[in-house]
Structure 1
């Protein structure tokens, strides 16, 4: 018997007050037709009312896939818990969900994506919740905001700090979804799901288990339905025994602004010369310097921003394949994509489900992470998740907190301050007009990464900007390199709210970074892994 029903029928199955878990990563894997049907049903009937939605990674974007904005309606949405949220340029109208959040209309939370997936797994196994050190001394910690995004959320905590075996831990009670809305490419008549056109598996299996094991229902949105028995068992990622209903959207986009690209889903491999190499500019200078922090043979995580260009730097230098890139949506290897397709990769070696990728990150199985910053604090803390004067431009933390909690090496990159007019001439950096907004501040507005905890754990932390390189030490933030053409006092020390420590062996950044020509980069080889020094816990 087929499980195929219409989107309207599926929306009618969601009761008032339900907890609904939605699988998505911005436009990637977003069940947009189903979310639209829920919003349309509410407009027509006033139901469902007062639902709570869980979004381990953001649902929707600002480029044609509305996602959570379909259901961001007063009376429909009572509470929202997201790893991240749709964002957009400051010049645009804020997404509807941001208007509800900043207007304090509903309690809204930003729980790290990996922890949100862990909460689903605990709910599926009927365990009480997640005990973790991920998020200590960040905005996740109840000694700070406790994941709350507004006043209403502060009044309804979702995390506690508890003592266990003589140590401080964060405890997140499991949240049981009554409905899981997931997405795939193909369903057979029994509801078995395959993902052959998807750019990631995300966490659909874990979300389906959480709902189904607790008596809830699972609705899958797919592109097409095929005959029972026509799918290869090894290709099925969510078995039909977990899927109650199937909704078909033949026009579902693969990801933001992308109807379908077979290289994103690993069905073909793109020639390397088809990937765009970044044009020479200040951002490329920074990405080049970040690349020099890498080792051949390492596995490296990438975040959005300037660091996302580092794989293209290695490509230009003939070093593609020297580093294996890993991103939170699940792609392993290949070339991570940029801009609207960020979160996808072409020519990937493998796709891991996001919950398992986050297990890899939380346990620091990888070698380094390349991430961005909005602010750097006196204690080395970093903010990427909140700016009060531009709230909807930041999407929340996503997996940033999971990734940085125990990472052995992190390289943060960004512009030294905001709004400066810069130039490059004769292998030197020139400051044509200084920026008005300092990014090195006494105290960051939102602690997404704790510098104090990094020092305690002995993490290797580097900050790369266009005009200098800095390191985090137990004594504070130390200036280790300065760009050629830069005045130490006027362009660096005077542009920081806190005093930087100047290294005794302060160096000048390599002038070749500031030249429009390949560097001839050679990465040192990572030492072969052995059991010597391994931790046995």
Structure 2
């Protein structure tokens, strides 16, 4: 079948002019219009065009594990500027992604703007408003008093954010950016360009990106898996109407997400039995995930990030508590079981899929109850770094939605290993430390401020740090040690392993020894207190 809007990838790539601003919808391998990005790279190799593009990526395009994404266009001369919420990452043993090589060589001006703010910038551009004014990112690497989102020297010379005063308060201002081209992805397009997402694991932000391009005189290119006859798609299923879509490119082999051609459970077409989900094997990471789970309250909506905390839903399944909390992730899934590894960002058995920009509005305004996230470094102010380590820059992938999520979250539980490279074991309900790691993760000052401890204290956010050997809390006085693992020596294994003086609670207690055994821990979650409006029935 052909349609009036159906063209080849090469023809679509030929429509992109030199110097264009191009917005790309993707989340790593999820929803990545990989064939279109490949066609743009191939056109440049053959003709030298398009040149000097600025590309916008609210969430990373590609992940180096079967979907190249942005690496198709990571060529000197093709890219002039790249603005991403996150970037593809790769294992430390692998060759760095091409985009990271370009960033490190200062061959492209590169910026890391929080994903939610990038979506907001599209929305403001679509409505012809001047830009985004927000407190998200204050006192982090986003703040112009620090890096101002710049990832290299080329970017530092062209600021993308200003700090402004408004009604006696500091705000960050991001000018709206209007794309000339939006490249989005769906499952099916009909002859009029209406798009449905029935095989996708998330809607992401394609609608907002299409609106931003269309309302500013640009074009919208949709990559899809298949074509359908006009009138055959149910209007309630259409997520991007054909009036916003100019051209359609077909890739019958597009993967649903990295290393997954198609799994109907990811797109919510079937529900998996709970016993089909792999439970975490017993190890140190499981000990940490169990202790994180003890911070939850039944009836809560809880955001989940990559890393150790991604296993917490599996802990609840093992403990017979699936459904006690509702998981919400930045790609848009609400409820169900968030998936792991290359399928991270997807969920099976979800209650709903929200467009990612609206999920970020939910996060930025702290409508949810708690967030479970990871850390690379913690410093004396309680600030956290997850976005940059200079000795392995291509392993970290930018902040994504981390800054949006943590900016006002009521409660955050950060998890990670106390130091890097320690040789550890668990025996008879106790932690055994055979050898300490060479790299301290509790440092005087984090290399990159992804989360501001100072802002957290000002806003009275509840912040907990969980490691295999201790639990810590952030207080106005600093980071306080509140729990210690059985078998751990306070002075040798904790206080001497921190670059800054840790305060010790006068109510220091042992972590539950059940955490360090193979059997389920008998987890019981207290009920979240019900919200009441001021002046309501009970006053």
| Unmatched segments (≥5 aa) in structure 2 | none
Q: Equivalent of 2:388, from 386, 389, 392?
A: 386
* Residue 461 in structure 1 maps to residue 470 in structure 2: no
- TM-score, normalised to structure 1, is 0.99
**Helix, strand or coil at the partner of 1:146:** coil
Partner of 2:450: 448
Q: CA deviation at 1:106?
A: 1.1
Q: Equivalent of 1:92, from 91, 94, 105?
A: 94
What is the rounded CA distance, in whole Å, between the counterparts of 1:45 and 1:177 in structure 2?
A: 23
**Helix, strand or coil at the partner of 1:391:** coil
Q: Equivalent of 1:304, from 303, 306, 313?
A: 306
Q: Equivalent of 1:14, from 16, 20, 33?
A: 16
**Within 5 Å, which residues of 2 pair with 1:286-297?**
286-297=288-299
What is the rounded CA distance, in whole Å, between the counterparts of 2:155 and 2:75 in structure 1?
A: 18
Deviation string 1:37-90 (CA, Å, 9 cap, x unpaired) is: 000000001100000000000000111100000000011010000000000111
Partner of 2:79: 77
Q: CA deviation at 1:2?
A: 2.2
- TM-score, normalised to structure 2, is 0.99
What is the rounded CA distance, in whole Å, between the counterparts of 1:94 and 1:310 in structure 2?
A: 30
**Within 5 Å, which residues of 2 pair with 1:476-495?**
476-495=478-497
**Within 5 Å, which residues of 2 pair with 1:47-126?**
47-126=49-128
**Helix, strand or coil at the partner of 2:211:** helix
What is the rounded CA distance, in whole Å, between the counterparts of 1:299 and 1:130 in structure 2?
A: 27
**Within 5 Å, which residues of 2 pair with 1:293-442?**
293-442=295-444
Partner of 2:272: 270
Deviation string 1:397-451 (CA, Å, 9 cap, x unpaired) is: 0000000000000000000000000000010000011100000000000000000
What is the rounded CA distance, in whole Å, between the counterparts of 1:149 and 1:90 in structure 2?
A: 19
Instruction: Quote the RMSD (CA, aligned, Å).
Output: 0.7
What is the rounded CA distance, in whole Å, between the counterparts of 2:78 and 2:535 in structure 1?
A: 54
**Helix, strand or coil at the partner of 2:123:** helix
Partner of 1:155: 157
**Within 5 Å, which residues of 2 pair with 1:170-209?**
170-209=172-211
Q: CA deviation at 1:528?
A: 1.7
What is the rounded CA distance, in whole Å, between the counterparts of 2:248 and 2:514 in structure 1?
A: 56
**Helix, strand or coil at the partner of 2:139:** coil
Q: CA deviation at 1:529?
A: 1.9
**Helix, strand or coil at the partner of 1:260:** coil
**Within 5 Å, which residues of 2 pair with 1:217-232?**
217-232=219-234
What is the rounded CA distance, in whole Å, between the counterparts of 1:114 and 1:479 in structure 2?
A: 33
Deviation string 1:115-157 (CA, Å, 9 cap, x unpaired) is: 0000000000000000000000000000000000001100000
What is the rounded CA distance, in whole Å, between the counterparts of 2:409 and 2:110 in structure 1?
A: 28
Partner of 1:529: 531
**Helix, strand or coil at the partner of 1:80:** strand
Q: CA deviation at 1:533?
A: 7.9
Partner of 1:239: 241
What is the rounded CA distance, in whole Å, between the counterparts of 2:462 and 2:531 in structure 1?
A: 19
**Helix, strand or coil at the partner of 2:394:** helix
What is the rounded CA distance, in whole Å, between the counterparts of 1:489 and 1:317 in structure 2?
A: 34
What is the rounded CA distance, in whole Å, between the counterparts of 1:369 and 1:25 in structure 2?
A: 20
Alignment coverage as a number of residue pairs:
534
* Residue 135 in structure 1 maps to residue 176 in structure 2: no
What is the rounded CA distance, in whole Å, between the counterparts of 1:284 and 1:374 in structure 2?
A: 18
Partner of 1:38: 40
What is the rounded CA distance, in whole Å, between the counterparts of 2:308 and 2:293 in structure 1?
A: 11
Q: CA deviation at 1:527?
A: 1.2
**Helix, strand or coil at the partner of 2:7:** coil
